[in-house]
Chain A
Amino acid sequence: MVNCSICGRPAVYIMKAGGKAYCEHHFLRYFDKKVRKTIRKYQMFREKEHIVIAVSGGKDSLALLHYLNKLSKRVPGWRISALLIDEGIQGYRDRTIKDFLRIVDELSIEYRIVSFKEEIGYTLDEIVKIGMDKGLPYLPCSYCGVFRRYLLNKAAREMGGSVLATAHNLDDIIQTYLLNIIQNNWDKIPKLAPASKGPFHPKFVRRVKPFYEILEKETTLYAILNNLYPEFIECPYAIHSVRWSIRRYINELEEKHPGTKYSLIRSLLNIIEILDKLGYGKDGVIGTCSICGEPSSNNVCRACMFKRELGILT
């Protein structure tokens, strides 16, 4: 049996890339140290912040909510709120909301739930059907991603948030990185930075990813050890995603060659620096959508473009 490299108790985690193993106690210390280091390194939070945490009810976002709530007890100037976007995916989001409500109630965290139905006028299920009937070429994840980002920013601002924290982990980031390379979307790669960079539109809420350098295996273990792991349920639309093939491929590589994931994140950080110098897309969009008035890097934002194509622009 593998034992903890620090105290010799049975290990719960083997960090192959670093050649170390940790028991439950030392894993939680390692996790805390690693997240705090990420937050400091990328200057994610200031002394006084209203941190709005984007929570889906999945294990990673519940872990982030739990972690930042705990950390905030040590920082007097921090206020924590949770924000959940209900896309309206029958049999999926309605079930993850239950896990979300259980945790915000247990931790006594203020929260807001914003739905596609109320804000966009239609649920994602309805939007997907309209898109299919009209023969539009978009996958469900495209509508979902655009409308979610739009609503996260709008709702976080309405909540008075000074920063929006999302639970993207190292695995999520490198998968999106490879996906963007495959799809030749170089302008989207700078958006994968750990914290959004200015100058900012007055209506844009700065975004940060505190789990940027944390492996998904580590966020999952944190969730299990803190009794946060929710009922496992898969999004019915996820099967369409190319991301699943990329994820399997990266995991196979990591298993054969430990450290591959860390190499990929370093590669991404270098590319972002190069693309920044070349003037590729920035996250702190400074333009304004001529239709809805929300921040946009184009004359019309993606959300309004989708609404127009779907025939649901009001």
Chain B
Amino acid sequence: MWCRVLAIRVRFADGTAKELNVNGISIRELFKILNLLLEEYIVVVKSHVVTEDYIVKDGDELVLYPVVSGG
């Protein structure tokens, strides 16, 4: 079975970003890889809020908005 490796970019609200090569996985699985809690972020792709079952696509830029307060 052939699996294409996808390149995605995860951008955090503090301005930092990570480039990742992943198979077509869901945000739920991506968060496990990144050791993040779904409770603590809202994910936006192409200006749309998406839920944890969203399957990341090649070239996607995911913006992660922290739910936790900064102060």
Q: Which A residues form the contact surface with B (CB < 8 A)? A: 1-2, 10-14, 21, 24, 56, 58-60, 92, 172, 216-217, 220-221, 224-225, 229, 232-235, 238, 247-248, 251-252, 254-255
Q: Which residues from chain A contact B65 at a C-beta distance below 8 Å?
A: 220, 224, 229, 232
Given contacts A58-B71, A233-B14, 16 further A-B contacts (CB under 8 A): A1-B51, A12-B49, A12-B51, A13-B49, A92-B71, A216-B69, A221-B42, A232-B14, A234-B70, A235-B70, A235-B71, A238-B70, A238-B71, A248-B37, A252-B37, A254-B39
Q: In the bound complex, do residue A56 and residue B71 qualify as a contact, i.e. CB atoms below 8 Å apart?
A: yes
Interface string of B37-71 (1 = CB under 8 A from A): 11110101000111111100000000001111111
Q: Which residues from chain A contact B48 at a C-beta distance below 8 Å?
A: 10, 12
* A-B complex: 4 closest residue pairs judged by Cβ atoms: A232-B13, A235-B71, A12-B49, A251-B39
A-B pairs with beta carbons under 8 Å apart, 11 shown: A1-B51, A10-B48, A11-B51, A12-B48, A24-B49, A56-B71, A220-B65, A224-B42, A224-B44, A224-B49, A232-B13
Distance in angstroms between the alpha carbons of A276 and B38 in the assembled complex: 36
> How far in angstroms is the closest Cβ of chain B from A254?
5
Distance in angstroms between the alpha carbons of A56 and B70 in the assembled complex: 11
In this complex, the interface size class of chain B, counting residues with CB under 8 Å from chain A, is: 20 to 34
Q: Which residues from chain B contact A247 at a C-beta distance below 8 Å?
A: 68
Q: In the bound complex, do residue A232 and residue B42 qualify as a contact, i.e. CB atoms below 8 Å apart?
A: no
Q: In the bound complex, do residue B67 and residue A1 qualify as a contact, i.e. CB atoms below 8 Å apart?
A: no
Q: In the bound complex, do residue A216 and residue B49 qualify as a contact, i.e. CB atoms below 8 Å apart?
A: no
Q: In the bound complex, do residue A216 and residue B54 qualify as a contact, i.e. CB atoms below 8 Å apart?
A: no
Given the contacts A1-B53, A2-B53, A221-B49, A58 and B40 also touching, CB distance less than 8 Å: no
| Closest residue on chain A to residue B12 by CB atoms | A232
Q: In the bound complex, do residue A251 and residue B37 qualify as a contact, i.e. CB atoms below 8 Å apart?
A: yes
Q: In the bound complex, do residue B68 and residue A216 qualify as a contact, i.e. CB atoms below 8 Å apart?
A: yes
Distance in angstroms between the alpha carbons of A235 and B68 in the assembled complex: 12
Distance in angstroms between the alpha carbons of A14 and B51 in the assembled complex: 7
Q: Which residues from chain B contact A24 at a C-beta distance below 8 Å?
A: 49
> How far in angstroms is the closest Cβ of chain B from A66?
16
Given the contacts A229-B65, A238-B71, A255-B37, A220 and B14 also touching, CB distance less than 8 Å: no
> How far in angstroms is the closest Cβ of chain B from A238?
6
Q: Which residues from chain A contact B39 at a C-beta distance below 8 Å?
A: 217, 251, 254-255
